[in-house]
Structure 1
Amino acid sequence: MVEEENPSSSSPSTEKEQLKQAILQISSLISVSPSIKVFTAKWQSARNKLEELFSHLAAIENCELGGRNPSLLAAVAEILATLANCGDLARQCTEFTYTGKLLMQSDLDILSAKLDSHIASLRGILAAMLAQQSHALVVSRPSLASASKDEVRFYLNDVFSRLKIGKKREALIAFNEMAREYERHIKVGVEIDGFVNLIVNFLDSHETEVQEAAAEAVSSIAGIPRGKAALVSAAAIAPLIRAVESGSELCKELAARCLVKMTENSDNVWAVSAHGGVPALLKICTGAGDSGTQLVSLACGVLKNLAAVEEIKRFMMEDGAVAGLITLAGSKGGEEAQISALDLLHIIACGDILNREAIIAHGGIRTLVGIMNPASPVSTKTREVAFRCITTICLSSVTSCLALGFADHILHFLRFGEAPPVQELALKACFWLSGASDCAKKMMGEAGYMDVLVELLESKSFDIREIAGETLSNMLVLSKNRKRFVQNDENVVVLMRLIDPEQGNNKVLLSILASLSRSNSARKKMLCSGYLKNIDKLAEDDAKEIVRKLSFTRFQNVFNVFWHS
């Protein structure tokens, strides 16, 4: 009788051969499994576990087997037996030779449980082996540009294994490098059971580098829809807020960036508020320079998403958000942070008169008008956002705005704003002012706006011509402005000359001329302009009315001449 060989007496070469045999068998089964057309869900689960098993075996194979390892040999022997069973089940399912569905389902469940047991066993063996080595080899990253989903999954399973055995920093760096290069592969990691949860756990790590790497990984995961859902399931919001509060500057930025992405979904807004996110984020925004510009901007971005909920917006107000944001908006701490603060103020002011009054009471209008000052060293983009705030906050406080020199600032940009965006912004502000109140119209007329607007009627830009015309039309509703307008002989001549019978865009100009035709002096200047034929050729109602009034004036002139002769 031949004595059965004791596994513990096997040589290292035998261990390597059996390990290689197991790896080859798993590889073969992974290749075959997609062709199985029955019990697909169970085979997909088995395939995922085979891939994880493959990852562990490959990692063990990369370790130096310096002597006999009875635990490993026993584990591999059991794995080979399970793989033989798996191959037999795969053959039956491929050839449809199984005896019954219920029996096959039971066999597949038993197979799945055995694979789980093998994975857990190898995980412990690998951890013990790596603990004895100062450096552990990592499975080579595939060429991501051409890698199949299976190759990426295999690589990420190896990353996952290393996370579990304590190689946190190296594994997280490997994942982040992959995520930066090919974002589309992130979803493969999200599909690995437990992968996201484990990364989220490292957000509370006391090792700065590990915490930063985990924050970057979580931010990448939040960049895909499925990733956001996975992070919510992994309860990521609370550790993210803790990272924002107490992490390094980089960790805070990465965590805040992740929260910006997650709060784009209103379902997650309440979770951020419930975990104390509002005070933590406001502290960053109003910390008087304690945080970097990028972090402040991101914190404002999260709060902007949170402010979409009225109850949370009210909580921000109670927590003193306005004063700090106004200070930030008026600071020279950085354009990005300044714009973010202005954006948030605009959201807070929208649809709530009490919030607008609070902003005004804290000197908000003075700060906003100061940004519009030509002497203020800010970008056009910052001025655009400030102007949007002004139009929202000053719905009932235009007088205060004008008293602080807003109209003078706008007129300066209208006259000397060389860059088109600056001039367009000034024109939008003009149009807003001209429709705000009669007081604003009067002040604009006295300041000399109308002559500048007439010049802009000849701009090459259609948009500028249209806004300039509509602003003039608003201003000329006041009789005092009409009198002041016709005092400049050229103003009426330009309007008459610009009427083009061949074009269909005369509506605004005709509206202005119709308004002016109420004045005797304006009608006389129209008659003397030399461009009456431009109006005579038009069939619009305004044109007919203007011609009627001018005809009457002409008749009066003839009658007066006849009467006095």
Structure 2
Amino acid sequence: MGEAGEEEAAAPAAELSQNEELDEQGMLAEALDAISSLVSASLSATLFPLKWQLIRDRLNRLHAGLADITVTGADDDNGEDSDLDVLAAALDAHVARLDEVYASGALTRARALVVPRPGAGATRDDVRFYVRDLFARLRAGGAEMRREAAAALGEALRDDEKCVRVVASDVPDGVGVLVSLLECPDPRVQEEALEAVSVIAGSDAHRGDLVVGGVIAPVVRVLDAGAGSTAAAKERAARVLCSSPRTRIMPGPSPRTVASRRCSTCARTTARAAASSCARRAGCCGASQAWTRSGSTWWPTRAPCRALVSLSQGAATDDAARIQAMELLAAIASGDSSAREAVIQEGAVESLVRALDPSSPTRSSKAREVALRAIDAICLSPPTSTDRLLAAGFLDRVLSLLRNGDTTLQHCALKAAHRLCQVSEEIRKAMGDAGFMPEMVSVLRAAKSPEAREMAADTLCAMVSVHRNRKRFVQDDRNVAQVLQLLGPEEEKPTPAKRLLLSTLMHLTDSSSGRRKIMSSEHVRNLEKLAETNVPDAKRIVKKLGGSKLRSIFHGIWSL
């Protein structure tokens, strides 16, 4: 009984040993197949044929050694342990030899094999080989090697569209590597990675790969990093966001579904596939929602807006980054009401008004122009939060630009004043008190553009329609005289600006002081000429001024 029991107990152990042996043999066979595949793949390499031949020789020697182990193991089970000991000792010797070579300095960066950049017209295979080598350096290189590889990659992407396709399609997790480098502690690597990402973001075909790859969150963190990121990094981060917010991607889940998927690590990538990727990430948490939906377009809201507002007003930010931040705020606000509200609540209105300050030496003419256009997009098209706009001192800024800005700034300021004047009577009163009426007359006298003259005349007419503003306007004799002067010279048909000036005079005739100022002006003859040519508004004004009595006065003046 004892011997039979021992035999039964030994049987499972022998079976287990046999299974382990089979597993090891299977792994050796897989290794042999992998080495054979590497040797075959290396035959297609066209660059450095001698180097590749040496690599193939070593792979073949490794293949032969593993094949010997496989044969020996199959023929002689008792010798397996001895063969494995021999292999382990050989590997230890190779490792020791590599340590000696590394310590000798033979593997220094100066002796590293550097793949040259393919020339113009190179095949996609050559470009692929070069780009993959750069990514190998980015993944495993030292600090200086990573900097140079990142710079070379950015340059290659800028110069050759094929490189963009290779990074997005042919490099395993190429976009993922670039996204991870956006938060590299080395500022130079971070800057060059942002440059590479910005080039890809400018490609319509591959921009969506960045969004799905989770690029938004690290880019926003660069913008929101304060002194932790360089000005160049922030400028490039703003450029990436300027390219990415309107990216249309494949249909995603409903807003309610997206609202429930709150992931701080990938900043709400919005395609269905990307949302699934978010769910698989270990970092999913209850961070505040970073996106809102408008049709099939997704917009970043609160967290990115906060960073962009900070960037648009930062004293240490260069002008290009400020401009890009303001442009992006305007683009976000043009999405829907929730996106616009997010922009406003983060202080964008006040920040943009401060950007108009002419006393600031850090604000260029271009930056003020972009700020005016952003204010138009956020607050005036359609009108919203105009109370915040006025409370921030917007009227004084616009008036200053009308008086002292260059031609482009004056036109943008005039457009803003024209839009603002249409909002409410209270705003028209505020504009009258601030001094906009005589300024509109000055614009009418100086502007060469018919569009500018029409906007100025329309703005003046709207302000004069308010009783308090009319009283203020006629107190200065020059205002009425200049409006009458602008009615000439004679033309076959009155221009739109001239018709609006006639409407302005019609408002002035509602008061006796306005009528007196018109009748006593030396330029009243221009009004009479228009009435004689049967211009309806001119005839009505003449009639309202007193008809034949006024005509006799005119004749008395003309006869002098």
Q: What pairs up with 1:70-81 in 2 under 5 angstroms?
A: 71-73=58-60
| Matched residue, 1:490 | 525
- Is residue 394 of structure 2 the alignment partner of residue 364 of structure 1? yes
Which residue pairs with 1:254 in the alignment? Answer: 236
Partner of 1:238: 217
| Kept after mapping to 2: 8 A contact 1:203/1:215 | yes
With over 3 angstroms needed to count, the CA separation of the structure-2 counterparts of 1:135 and 1:426, relative to structure 1, is farther
Contact 1:322–1:345 (Cα < 8 Å) also in 2: yes
d(CA) in 2 for partners of 1:205, 1:135 = 26
Question: Does the 8 A contact of 2:372 with 2:413 survive in 1?
Answer: yes
Question: Corresponding residue for 1:300?
Answer: 326
Q: Verify: 1:328 aligned to 2:303, yes or no.
A: no
Specify whether residues 351 and 20 from structure 1 end up closer, same or farther in structure 2 by C-alpha distance, changes over 3 A only.
closer
Amino acid in structure 1 at the alignment position of 2:436: F
| CA distance in 1: counterparts of 2:240 and 2:551, whole angstroms | 68
TM-aligned CA distance change 1:199 to 1:402, over 3 Å: same
1:445–1:475 contact (8 Å) kept in structure 2: no
1:362-441 superposed matches below 5 A: 362-372=392-402, 374=403, 376=404, 378-394=405-421, 395-396=423-424, 397-415=427-445, 417=446, 420=448, 425=452, 427-439=454-466, 440=469
CA distance in 1, matches of 2:385, 2:377: 10
Alpha carbons 2:242, 2:327 under 8 Å: kept: yes
Task: Tell me how large the CA RMSD over aligned residues is.
Answer: 4.3
Match of 1:141 among 108, 117, 122: 117
| Letter of the structure 1 residue corresponding to residue 150 of structure 2 | L
The one-letter amino acid paired with 2:352 is L
What's 2:131 paired with?
156
In the alignment, which of 515, 520, 529 is matched to residue 540 of structure 2? Answer: 515
Q: Which AA in structure 2 matches 1:134?
A: A
In structure 2, relative to structure 1, the CA distance for the partners of 1:517 and 1:274 (3 Å cut) is closer
Identify if the C-alpha distance between structure 1 residues 187 and 392 changes in structure 2 by more than 3 Å, giving closer, same or farther. Answer: farther
Identity %: 23
Q: 1:68 to 1:388 in 2, by over 3 A?
A: closer
* Per-residue deviation, residues 504-551 of structure 1 (Å, max 9, x unmatched): xxxxx834334345351598489989xxxxxxxxxxxxxxxxxxxxxx
Stretches of structure 1 lacking an aligned partner (at least 5 in a row)? 1-18, 27-53, 79-127, 500-508, 530-565
Give, in angstroms, the shift of residue 266 of structure 1. 7.6
The 3 A distance-change label for structure 1 pair 469 and 188 is farther
Q: Which amino acid aligns with 1:428?
A: M
Say whether residues 1:344 and 2:374 are aligned partners: yes
Q: 1:243 to 1:518 in 2, by over 3 A?
A: same
TM value normalised by structure 1: 0.61
CA distance in 2, matches of 1:191, 1:522: 86
Shift of 1:177: 1.9
| Rounded Cα–Cα distance in structure 1 between residues aligned with 2:188 and 2:502 | 63
- Residue from 192, 197, 200 that aligns with 2:170: 192
Q: Aligned partners of 2:190, 2:378: CA distance in 1, in Å?
A: 33
What stretches of structure 2 of length at least 5 have no aligned partner? 1-37, 66-101, 250-269, 271-290, 293-297
* Aligned 8 A contact 1:173 1:213 in 2: yes
Would you say the 8 A contact 2:415–2:455 is kept in 1? no
1:171-320 alignment, distance < 5 Å: 171-183=149-161, 186-193=164-171, 194-244=173-223, 245=225, 246-265=228-247, 269-270=291-292, 273=300, 276-287=303-314, 289-308=315-334, 309-320=336-347
Deviation string 1:426-456 (CA, Å, 9 cap, x unpaired) is: 5522322213451356655665456545655
Matches within 5 A, 1:461-472: 466-472=495-501
Mapped to 1, the partners of 2:489 and 2:167 lie a distance apart of: 56
- Give per-residue Cα distances to partners, 1:28-52, cap 9 Å, x unaligned: xxxxxxxxxxxxxxxxxxxxxxxxx
- Displacement after TM superposition at 1:490 (Å): 2.8
